[in-house]
Amino acid sequence: MPPAYHLRLNKAVDRLSFIEAIRFLGQLASLSGYTYYCLGGPYLEDCRLLYEFYPEIKMVSVERREEVYKRQIFHLPCGIVDLRHGEFKSFIAQYDPKDRGSIFWLDYTDLEFGNFEAFMALLAKVAANSMIKITLRAEPRDYLKRPDLFREKFQALMPNPSANPPATSDAFADLVQQMTQIASQKALPSELPHMFQPVQSFYYSDSTNMFSLTGVVCPRTAQDRVERAFKDLQFANLDWRRPKNIDLPILTTKERLHIQRLLPCNTGAGRILREALGYLTEDDRQTTEMKLQQYADFHRHFPYFMKATP
């Protein structure tokens, strides 16, 4: 069984990168005017973090499974989270922003056409300067033996409907991003006043390969303003470049404290940190330096997990 949702390193970094992106969103409008909508999961970890960083943002979590909903009531981090028991698809159908800014995390664990449909429906509904993050399964092994099934399910969103899905993780994640871009363009075609501006995208392993994209719905006339607001966001992706990989090493607290003093590094961080440790943390030098470069890139969002006596 994989570790609990809130204890996964790569997922935790993706989550904290999203929290940071919300901070940049505050340059477009006051965060006190926003409501956060999510599929909070049993621990409501996103809501806990959001309340810690931005207590002025209202929060709504939607959960269809009754026992998970009961568990959410137990784990409720604060009194301002509005827990809803029901289907998220039905919630989106009834959602009315009332011209209030929204922040959505469509945190899916699968890759289905219906997920893109929900994303497209939201794009057409949210108010200007709303932020939407979508996370989708991006596992090429799912379709290696049945590429025809992939084409059958996603033909309407594929840049090349006759092509087979790629077999590598990075190329498959990039294809899912291209499909998300096409979905956004179908939901907000050029004749409409609003567009979807990407700001950040990642792919990573979270017991399976996942793709995660964050963007802002904005007036087309305000695209330059949105790009300026997010240009200093770490690993900003403002032009649909390939998503960045998150692939963090497993380090002890003692190892982290030893190399932390050398950060940040402008160049060659993987080599510098490997030399500081004096040994390989992976099977070979190349993989060790690659993983340590990842730590240097994301060390501000790298969580600490510690044993405690209750």
DSSP 122-169: HHHHSPTTEEEEEEEE--GGGGSS-HHHHHHHHGGG-SSTTSPPPSSH
pLDDT given for residue 206 in this prediction: 83
pLDDT digits (tens, 9 = 90+) for 233-282: 999 999 999 999 999 999 999 999 999 999 998 889 999 999 999 999 99
Give the closest residue to 124 by CA, choosing from 79, 189, 60, 41.
189
pLDDT digits (tens, 9 = 90+) for 175-191: 999 999 999 999 999 99
Structural domains present in the chain: 5-246 (3.40.50.150), 253-301 (no CATH)
**Euclidean distance between CA atoms 87 and 43, whole angstroms:** 18
Section 70-94 average pLDDT: 93
Q: Taking every pair of C-alpha atoms in the chain, what is the biggest distance, in angstroms? A: 59
Inter-residue contact 203 to 246 (CB < 8 Å): yes
pLDDT class for 78, splitting at 50, 70, 90? confident
pLDDT class for 2, splitting at 50, 70, 90? very low
pLDDT given for residue 303 in this prediction: 75
* Residue 292 clears pLDDT 70, i.e. is over it: yes
* Residue 219 clears pLDDT 50, i.e. is over it: yes
The one-letter amino acid code at 272 reads I
pLDDT given for residue 9 in this prediction: 86
Section 6-13 average pLDDT: 79
Q: Which two tokens stand for residue 80?
A: 């301002």
pLDDT given for residue 1 in this prediction: 43
pLDDT given for residue 246 in this prediction: 96
pLDDT given for residue 140 in this prediction: 96
State if pTM tops 0.85: yes
pLDDT class for 6, splitting at 50, 70, 90? very low
Helix ranges restricted to H, the chain: 9-25, 45-53, 66-75, 88-94, 113-125, 147-154, 169-187, 223-230, 253-260, 269-277, 285-298
pLDDT given for residue 7 in this prediction: 53
